[in-house]
Amino acid sequence: MNNTKMISRFSLFKRMVLFAIIISMLCTMLSACSSSGDDEDTATVGENGVVYVYNYGDYVDPDVVDMFEEETGIKVIYDTFDTNEEMYPIISSSSVKYDVVGAGDYMVEKMIQNDLLSEINHDNVPNFKYASEMCLEFAEGYDPGNVYSMPYTWGTVGILYNSRNIPDGEITLWSDLWKDKYYDDIMMMDSLRDGLMIPLKILGCSCNTSNEDEISKAADKLIEQKELVYKYATDAIRDLLLNESANIGVIYSGEAIYCQEDDEDMHYVLPEEGSNIWFDTWTIPKVAENKENAEKWINFMYRPDIALKTYEYLHYGTPNVEAEKMIAELYPEDFENPALFPDESLIAKCETYHYLGKETDAIYNKYWKKFKAS
Amino acid sequence: MNKKALSAPYVIWIIGGTLIPLALMLYYGLTDGEGSFTLSNILAIGEPGHLKALLTALLLAAVSTLICFLLAFPIAVLLRRVKRAKGLIIFLFLLPMWMNFLLRTMAWQVLLEKGGVINSIISWLGFEKLRLINTPGAVIMGMVYDFLPFMLLPINNAVSKIALSTTEAAYDLGASEMQVVFKVVLPLSVPGIVSGITMVFVPALTTFVISNMLGGGKIYLIGNIIEQEFTVGDNWNLGAGLSIVMMVFILISMLFIAKFDKDVEEDLAI
Amino acid sequence: MKKHGALRVIYLVLIIIFLYAPIFTLMVLSFNEGKSMGKWTGFSLRWYASMFSDEEIMEALGNTVFIALVSALVSTVIGTAVCIALPRMNKKIRDAFLALNNIPLLNADIVTGLSLMLAFVAFGVSLSMGTVILSHITFCIPYVILSVRPRVKQLGNTGYEAALDLGATPGQALFKVILPEIRPGITAGFLMAFTMSVDDFIVTHFTRGAGVNTLSTLIYGQVRIGIRPTVYALSTIVFVTVLIVLVLANVFQGKGARARQGKRI
């Protein structure tokens, strides 16, 4: 039966004999002209080798990458993933051998347990002395002594809403997102841990629970809310909020700042039930082939001026004490923004995610799928 | 020079590129993480989440295949009667097919989003904005749009092959227009229709892209589950097991469709 | 029957609108000054400027063409070779070959992509642009065979044997007799393989390695982050290019066909 498809396409193809070739030449020329050699990154190598970086998309200032390449002579090959869950199988199967991987806190824990990470040589990362107390304390939870990971950014998960359409102060709780009046106006996180964290917090449970009953109840709560939800997404939420496709979105604190820059009426709330505080870190996989370059990369990221540039680009919390002082001087208004520097009493209610082990992971997965397919 | 030696690269390619990968898929599907035999990945289709996703996929694929047929058959019949600039008109219908299918799907997202074009027009006219995107309807719309050419091509081929003298004869014998369409053209184009149905149904049943882009994470199909198991869920064995189940369903539906057309088997053999 | 004429035209026009409205929406928005999906804020070419200066997009464009050229070329050679060899084989082996050829055609793309990925990982091949090309060759070969085989069948064995009788070496007979005769089939197979490769998303998605983006994977990634107007500009360019190529091809093919007819008369 595919024959019919073939035959009908066949005649169309015949018509293209000359022209597909011409167009392909045009395209090659076009791309060759406009991206002058940079696209040959797999072939060219810096004078001091390469470093393969695997991280969230758009998560390092491109200027910082350029500066690093210029100063060290190391060629950076930057590849991206959307979620940690997507990154993990790539690393665990070592189907691609990356040198530096940006990993979330709970993923660091999982990778340590599965022996996928190599110890970072602290002597090669002298700038780690700038790491802040708060970060080191939370880091004890997932990587005691920062043997395998060094924090890159931190932040919280909260709610951002458009105060032109939703009265200021109307939303203070996660459970507000279950109100009928917000029908088709809510955007929720489309990732397993963040997604289930919210109902777990409403139910007063830890977001690291391994109690199947609690997880099941949380999933039921999400199913109950599904009709009200406009869309489940991750990165796309901020643009949809700005485009006023919906007025309420669950969002990472850094993204909230990005939205507020475009639109002052966006309000960020760290809900009172407590939330997740997260750390994204740099790690080096066991299979890394350019470990020293990876350490140079991490050290570079910890240089105060680079950490400041990173903050200016991303607007996520910085683990760098020196950079924080500079921010306080340069951007005093940021210190009053709950998205950046939340109330300490609220931080106290926050938890980092922990790696829960294969069995509990499977339970979360099962109920998450049940909710998603509902 | 031995002519038979020319087939060597192909043999290597078929073994390395088709047989071994499929055997591995089977192996993964029938073993657990430690490599011992199990049927649990296959039986996992019975879990509520998986079953629901499969049923939703079957339903959406069936509906969009039906809509594609209902749109494409009249087009083919009408195109048959076009006399002037026929080539140009057929060209107009097939042109969008040459555009990248992700771009075409994305275009519907831009149209259907609440801050998008259609809703902007609706609210400009003074009506309440509608819930268009992130619904089963939006996913079906995307499937129909993306796969309509696959239905139109074979049906149009089959219909245009019917000799004009055949239909003229029917008219001469006093058949009405409707009778000609349903009693002459339709039966004679069954092979094309069967091809069209398979070519729309299989990609629609297995897609994860359209449901992702137009379903807003609210529509979860079997393709989404499989993709997630291989990427996010990190359970390749389960993903492989569910792929096998999905393939079985495709085979069953193809056999079911093939019942309507004995020529299909001949068609399959080259 | 005249009274239905208008209805018919309306139906066809409605379908045409359905087919083109989304594409034209993207075209219009690509000239929009602002980022909004629904509000027109003024004419601007800025998205075209930022598209052409976007290295990621240009690289993906280059990759797409490169991958398509290489895989179309290799699959054409392999597919043509086996088609020439087929008539010499005994029927059972030939039927087996042809049956195997159908597997990638009938298989769902997601299964093809995933099983290839499993194979690469099982043999310790790390994913890269190379694995994408290997995968594309795999799904392109069947299309080449479909277009070349009818020509070989038509050709029969007589020409080849006559050439041998007249003292040609098998190599000469192959290049001077067989290949010129089946060239239209080879060209069509090459083009089909090229298009299949350019249009593929799913197989590439599962078999691509670090930093390897084709247009399809790039768009997929961008849509998940949030659609940027540069992609509207990109899709306008893609559409216009396809349009020009197909129109030119039609015009030239029309001329060619007339010329050939002229000869025959």
Residue C35 confidence (pLDDT)? 82
Could you tell me the CATH superfamily of domain A155-277+350-373? Periplasmic binding protein-like II (3.40.190.10)
β-bridge pairing A75-81 and A50-56? parallel
Q: Is the pLDDT of residue B61 over 60?
A: yes
**pLDDT score for A333:** 84
Q: Enter the DSSP assignment of A264.
A: T
pLDDT tens digit sequence for C160-177: 888 888 888 888 888 888
Q: How far is A356 from chain B (nearest CA, A)?
A: 14
Q: Does A328 touch chain C (CB under 8 A)?
A: no
Q: What is the pLDDT of residue B94?
A: 83
Q: What angle do CA B43, B45, B47 make, to 5 degrees?
A: 100
pLDDT higher than threshold 60 for residue A4: no
Angle subtended at Cα C137 by Cα A3 and Cα C102, rounded to the nearest 5 degrees: 30
CATH number of this structure's domain A42-153+280-344, picked from the four choices 3.40.190.10, 3.30.720.110, 3.40.50.150, 3.40.50.1000: 3.40.190.10
- Quote the DSSP letter at residue A115: T
Measured in angstroms, the CA of B191 and the nearest CA of chain A are apart by 8
**Which pLDDT tens digit goes with each residue over B222-268?**
999 999 999 877 789 999 999 999 999 988 888 887 777 654 444 43
DSSP character at residue A46: B
Token pair for B219: 């529509």
CB-CB: which of A3, A13, A239 is closest to C188? A13
Chain C CA closest to residue B97: C19
| pLDDT (tens digit per residue) in B12-47 | 999 999 999 999 999 999 999 888 999 999 999 999
CA A229 – CA C200 distance, rounded (Å): 32
Model confidence band, residue A337 (pLDDT cutoffs 50, 70, 90): confident
Q: Give the residue with greater pLDDT, A62 vs C156.
A: A62
- Between C36 and A22, name the one with better pLDDT: C36
The confidence score (pLDDT) of residue A9 equals 42
Asked whether this chain's domains A42-153+280-344 and A155-277+350-373 adopt the same fold, the reply is yes
**β partners of residue A149:** A283
Main-chain phi, psi angles of C32, to 5 degrees = -80, 140
- Compute the average pLDDT of residues A25-49: 51
CATH class, domain C54-227, is mainly alpha
Higher pLDDT, A85 or A213: A213
Round to whole Å and give the CA distance between C227 and C38: 13
Name the residue among B1, B78, B226 with its Cβ closest to that of C171: B1
Domain ranges of chain C: 54-227
Residue pLDDT, tens place only, B121-173: 999 999 988 999 999 999 999 999 999 988 998 999 899 888 888 888 999 99
Nearest beta carbon to residue A245 from set B113, B228, B231? B113
3-state SS track over C156-198: CCHHHHHHHHCCCCHHHHHHHHHHHHHHHHHHHHHHHHHHHHH
pLDDT digits (tens, 9 = 90+) for C25-78: 999 999 999 888 888 889 999 999 999 999 889 999 999 999 999 999 999 999
DSSP state of A166: S
- Kindly report the nearest CA distance between residue B2 and chain A, in angstroms: 30
Q: Is residue A148's pLDDT more than 60? A: yes
- pLDDT for the residue numbered A291: 94
Asked whether the beta carbons of A265 and A206 are under 8 A apart, the reply is no
Q: Is there a contact between B234 and A85 if contact means CB atoms under 8 Å apart?
A: yes
pLDDT band with cut points at 50, 70 and 90 for residue A1:
very low
The answer to whether residues A133 and A105 touch, using CB atoms and an 8 Å cutoff, is: no
Q: Convert the pLDDT of each residue in A92-101 to its tens digit.
A: 888 888 999 9
Q: What's residue B232's pLDDT? A: 77
- Strand, helix or coil at A51? strand
pLDDT in tens, A226-252: 999 999 998 889 989 998 899 999 998
Report how far residue A46's alpha carbon sits from residue C130's, in angstroms, rounded to the nearest whole number: 22
Q: Tell me how crowded residue C55 is: count the other CB atoms within 10 A of its CB.
A: 15
Q: Which of B149, C248, C150 is nearest to A16 (CA)?
A: C248
Query: Using the beta-carbon criterion (under 8 Å), do B154 and A5 form an inter-chain contact?
Result: yes
| Segment (H or E) for A56 | strand A50-56
- What is residue A316's DSSP assignment? -
Which residues of chain C fall short of a pLDDT of 70? Answer: 1-4, 210, 253-265
Q: Give the predicted TM-score (pTM) of the model.
A: 0.83
* CB of A40 less than 8 A from some CB of C: no
The helix-helix angle for C179-199 and C129-155 (nearest 10°) equals 150
For chain C, the straight-line distance linking the first and the last C-alpha, in angstroms and rounded, comes to 39
Are C192 and A38 in contact (CB < 8 Å)?
no
Instruction: For chain C, state the CA radius of gyration.
Output: 24
Q: What is the mean pLDDT of chain A?
A: 86
Contact between chains at A8 and B154 (C-beta distance less than 8 A):
yes
- What CA–CA distance (Å, rounded) separates B220 from C114? 19
Amino acid at A264: E
* CB-based contact B134 A190, cutoff 8 Å: no
Over range A276-303, report the average pLDDT: 95
Rg of the Cα atoms in chain B: 23
Whether the CB-CB separation of B233 and A89 falls below 8 Å is answered with no
B35 touches chain A (CB under 8 A): no
Shortest CA gap B172–chain A (Å): 31
Predicted ipTM of the assembly: 0.89
Domains and CATH numbers, chain B: 23-261+263-267 (1.10.3720.10)
Residue type, A13: F
For chains A and C, what is the number of CB pairs under 8 angstroms? 136
B56/B202 Cα distance (integer angstroms): 14
Hey, where are the domains in chain A? 42-153+280-344, 155-277+350-373
Which residue from C minimizes the CA distance to B114?
A: C38
Hey, are the CB atoms on B158 and A4 less than 8 Å from each other?
Answer: yes
Report CB contact under 8 Å: A244, B115. yes
Which chains have 3+ CB pairs within 8 A of C? A, B
Helix (H) or strand (E) holding A233: strand A229-233
> A40-49, A273-282, B99-108: lowest mean pLDDT where?
A40-49
Q: Which residues contact B105 (CB under 8 A, 6 or more apart)?
A: B142, B145, B146, B209, B210, B213, B214
- Sequence-distant (6+) residues with CB within 8 A of C101 are B14, B270, C141, C142, C145
pLDDT given at position A32: 45
In order of A328, B65, B252, the CA distances from B141 in angstroms are 51, 11, 25
